[in-house]
Structure 1
Amino acid sequence: MTTRPTDDATALYGRASLILGALALIAAMFIGYAGVAFPLLFGSLAVTFGTIGLTKRVHRVQCAIGLTIGGLAVLYPIFLLMTFSG
């Protein structure tokens, strides 16, 4: 049994990582319209919040999913830029 409250600020890292990862993946799909900045920004924030949430050990599944999706959304534009740049 833990004595730590479940409604503190660290409980939001998983949810923030998951939402920012999903937004980053959606922005990465529409990279032709939205540009490169939105997937990179949202993805890096999702990776950051996912990592912090995993170290705090609160909502680890949400943090891991957000970390994975955010990482994919960051790597996708970089892969596209390296593929199509001369």
Structure 2
Amino acid sequence: MTAAGSTDSPATLYGPVSLALGVVALLTAVFVGVIGPAVPLLAGSLAATFGGFGLSRAQRRTLPALGLALGGASFLYVFFLLMTFA
């Protein structure tokens, strides 16, 4: 049951999920030589996607913005690393 006047929606979870995936992507991007490029690329792209959704739909925009920045940075780092040595 929800309380009367509750403004929670599934869109409020985009921010925390985006931030969590952004942190995972950043941590795995540091160890890309050991883990491989799949995890940081997938987590980074998902963090950027959820961050974009969160920025467009949520009222609090700090967490989605951080998730978008961390996910995008780790995705681009691994992508350019792969393109450099490919």
Cα RMSD between the aligned structures?
1.3
Task: Give the Å deviation of 1:4.
Answer: 6.0
TM-score in terms of structure 1 length: 0.88
Question: How many residues are paired up?
Answer: 82
Q: Which residue of 2 is the match for residue 59 of structure 1?
A: 60
- Structure 1 segments (4+ residues) deviating >2 Å: none
Unaligned runs of 5+ in 2: none
**Identity across the alignment (%):** 50
CA contact (8 A) 1:18 1:66 kept: yes
| Counterpart Cα distance in 2 of 1:59 and 1:43 | 21
CA contact (8 A) 2:29 2:37 kept: yes
Task: Give the Å deviation of 1:59.
Answer: 2.4
TM-score in terms of structure 2 length: 0.88
Unaligned runs of 5+ in 1: none
